[in-house]
């Protein structure tokens, strides 16, 4: 099983600042990685697939990068609606696995 490790567990950022979230895979997942955003009481929402492609309707301030085992989600200028939990997921191998999540909170 591929283990996905996200860091940090909590990221404290002021509105308007840049936020950088990391996701590491225990073995290569090539570019088969997605990022999801989840707000309290809501279902997750797909942000990024293929490590770097924004899903439909996702603002350009969200960007993904990386390949192999190291991935990054960057939020260029955090808006109030971006404070949430973010999960990475690999879909390169079965079983599909998620990271433990990064909570982005207001500083």
Residue 46 CB, shortest distance to another protein, in Å, is 5
User: Considering only residues 22-51, where is the footprint of another protein by CB under 8 A?
Assistant: 32, 34, 36, 38, 43-46, 49-50
Query: Do 98 and 87 meet the contact criterion of CB atoms below 8 Å apart?
Result: yes
Count of residues interacting with another protein (CB under 8 A): 25
Q: Tell me which of 11, 82, 99, 104 binds another protein, using CB under 8 A.
A: 99
Q: Of 88, 80, 77, 84, whose CA–CA distance to 103 is shortest?
A: 84
Q: Of 55, 52, 47, whose CA–CA distance to 81 is shortest?
A: 47
Residue 16 CB, shortest distance to another protein, in Å, is 28
């Amino acid at each position: 099983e591929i283990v996905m490790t996200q860091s940090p567990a909590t990221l404290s950022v002021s509105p308007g600042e840049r936020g950088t979230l990391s996701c590491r895979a225990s073995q290569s997942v090539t570019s088969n990685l997605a990022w999801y955003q989840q707000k309290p009481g809501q279902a997750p929402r797909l942000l990024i697939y293929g490590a770097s492609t924004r899903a439909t309707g996702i603002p350009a301030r969200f960007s993904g990068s990386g390949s192999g085992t190291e991935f990054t989600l960057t939020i260029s200028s955090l808006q109030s609606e971006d404070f949430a939990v973010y999960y990475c997921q690999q879909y390169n191998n079965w079983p599909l696995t998620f990271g433990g999540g990064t909570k982005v909170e207001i500083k």
